[in-house]
């Protein structure tokens, strides 16, 4: 069975083709991606209307490129999967509209996929796929959640952010340092050269006794810290602008605060559940410091950690085709010929 996956929930258009043969692990045949980052950069964030228009321009050429790469004709597609939510309504409608039109034209069923389930299951495409059950740390631009995952479709939320997501904390702190959107990866790069202990930043809810996170206060603390440094620079008779060293030190201190919260709560979730396997997914899962800290802490405790391939940490079509494939294989979803392409901009993954 050939499953076509289309992702268009935010600022990346992704298309992928996954093959399912019986119960064997699904195989990614080809995938294509177009990132809108450059287009949104002058605005300092995603402009929803521009995002939708660009998805429309990209989706069919990316589909053709994916088919060409996989050496499969469009007529060989058996199921068309698409991101049904959560995300920007207009952006989601483009993927859903394209998927349903293709489904109707080919007379094949379609399947709406939850974007976060795509992230969550993306490590199954890695060279070291996880086994159920496991604890999942889902860290993206819009979500930060710890879940117990017992099987495909069985997701129990153990804790989540009560305000900003971890990715948002990276991006907003980066903006305060004058870095371009999306600042997360750039802040991480600068942090590599900085001293993570240079500035004392809060670790919100670290000792809350539950598995929830809070990152909104951190952004305010970074803002206050940047102001303090500027004042001190002026007092010292220098330009108020942060020096290169000060910028990398703030970046490293911010990253250390975010990563410590993510690592400590993940370990607490593992201890609380008694599980010995952790899966990390979502854009922030690409963060090297997070990976190194988790690897070190989990190695000490004999806990296995799994990540998606680096390129599949951020949004892509492969994870959508894969999630559809795994849901169909597990018998928890049935594609249908309902081509009404209803999208769900707000959609909880787990109860």
Residue ranges in contact with ligand KG4 by CB under 6 A: 119, 140-142, 167, 170-171, 182, 184-185, 188, 282-284, 286-287, 314-315
What gap in Å lies between CA 272 and CA 266, rounded to an integer?
10
Closer Cβ to ligand KG4, 140 or 225, answer by number: 140
Closest CA to 327 of 107, 126, 111, 98: 111
Closer Cβ to ligand KG4, 148 or 173, answer by number: 173
In the complex, minimum distance from the CB of residue 340 to Zn ion, in angstroms, rounded to a whole number: 24
String marking each residue 297-326 x if it binds Zn ion according to CB under 5 A: ------------------x-----------
What gap in Å lies between CA 211 and CA 195, rounded to an integer?
28
79-85 and 2-7 strand pairing: parallel
Return the residues of window 259-288 that contact Zn ion according to CB under 5 A. Answer: none
In the list ligand KG4, Zn ion, none, the entry touching 142 (Cβ below 5 to 8 angstroms by class) is ligand KG4
Would you state the structure tokens that stand for residue 332, as one six-digit string? 């928890």
Closest CA to 134 of 142, 118, 123: 123
Q: Report yes or no: 106 and 74 within 8 Å, Cβ to Cβ.
A: yes
Return the residues of window 108-167 that contact Zn ion according to CB under 5 A. Answer: 140
In the complex, minimum distance from the CB of residue 188 to Zn ion, in angstroms, rounded to a whole number: 17
Closest CA to 318 of 1, 15, 23: 15
Please give the radius of gyration of the chain, using alpha carbons only, rounded to the nearest integer: 21
Q: Report yes or no: 252 and 195 within 8 Å, Cβ to Cβ.
A: yes
End-to-end CA distance of the chain: 31
Q: Residue 105, exposed/middle/buried by CB under 10 A (0-12, 13-18, 19+)?
A: exposed
In the complex, minimum distance from the CB of residue 350 to Zn ion, in angstroms, rounded to a whole number: 16
- Our finding on whether 8 is near Zn ion (CB under 5 A) is no
In the list Zn ion, ligand KG4, none, the entry touching 185 (Cβ below 5 to 8 angstroms by class) is ligand KG4
In the list ligand KG4, Zn ion, none, the entry touching 171 (Cβ below 5 to 8 angstroms by class) is ligand KG4
In the complex, minimum distance from the CB of residue 320 to Zn ion, in angstroms, rounded to a whole number: 10
In the list ligand KG4, Zn ion, none, the entry touching 284 (Cβ below 5 to 8 angstroms by class) is ligand KG4
Kindly list the residues in this chain that would bind Zn ion in the complex (CB under 5 A). 140, 315
């Amino acid at each position: 069975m050939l499953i076509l996956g289309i992702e268009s929930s935010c600022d990346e258009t992704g298309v992928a083709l996954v093959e399912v043969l019986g119960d064997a692990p699904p195989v990614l045949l080809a995938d294509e991606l177009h990132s809108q980052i450059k287009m949104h950069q002058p605005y300092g964030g995603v402009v929803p209307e521009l995002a939708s228009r660009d998805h429309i321009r990209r989706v069919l050429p990316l589909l053709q490129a994916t088919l060409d790469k996989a050496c499969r004709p469009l007529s060989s597609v058996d199921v068309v999967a698409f991101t049904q939510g959560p995300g920007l309504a207009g952006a989601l409608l483009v993927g859903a509209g394209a998927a349903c039109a293709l489904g109707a034209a080919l007379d094949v069923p379609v399947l709406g996929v939850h974007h976060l389930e795509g992230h969550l299951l993306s490590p199954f495409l890695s060279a070291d796929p996880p086994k159920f059950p496991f604890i999942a740390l889902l860290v993206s631009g819009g979500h930060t959640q710890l879940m117990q995952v017992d099987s495909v479709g069985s997701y129990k939320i153990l804790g989540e952010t009560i305000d900003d997501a971890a990715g948002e904390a990276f991006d907003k702190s980066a903006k305060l340092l004058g870095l371009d959107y999306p600042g997360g990866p750039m802040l991480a790069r600068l942090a590599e050269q900085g001293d993570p202990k240079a500035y004392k930043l809060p670790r919100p809810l670290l000792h809350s006794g539950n598995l929830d996170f809070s990152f909104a206060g951190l952004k305010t603390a970074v803002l206050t810290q940047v102001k303090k440094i500027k004042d001190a620079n002026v007092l010292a008779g220098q330009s108020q602008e942060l020096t290169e060293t000060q910028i990398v030190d703030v970046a490293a201190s911010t990253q250390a605060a975010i990563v410590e919260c993510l690592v400590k709560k993940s370990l607490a979730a593992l201890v609380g559940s008694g599980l010995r396997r952790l899966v990390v997914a979502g854009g922030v899962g690409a963060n090297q410091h997070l990976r190194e800290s988790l690897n070190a802490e989990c190695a000490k405790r004999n806990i296995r950690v799994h990540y998606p391939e680096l390129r599949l940490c951020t949004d892509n079509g492969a994870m959508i085709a894969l999630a559809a494939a795994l849901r169909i294989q597990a018998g928890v979803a049935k594609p249908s010929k309902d081509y009404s392409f209803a999208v769900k901009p707000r959609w909880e993954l787990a109860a």
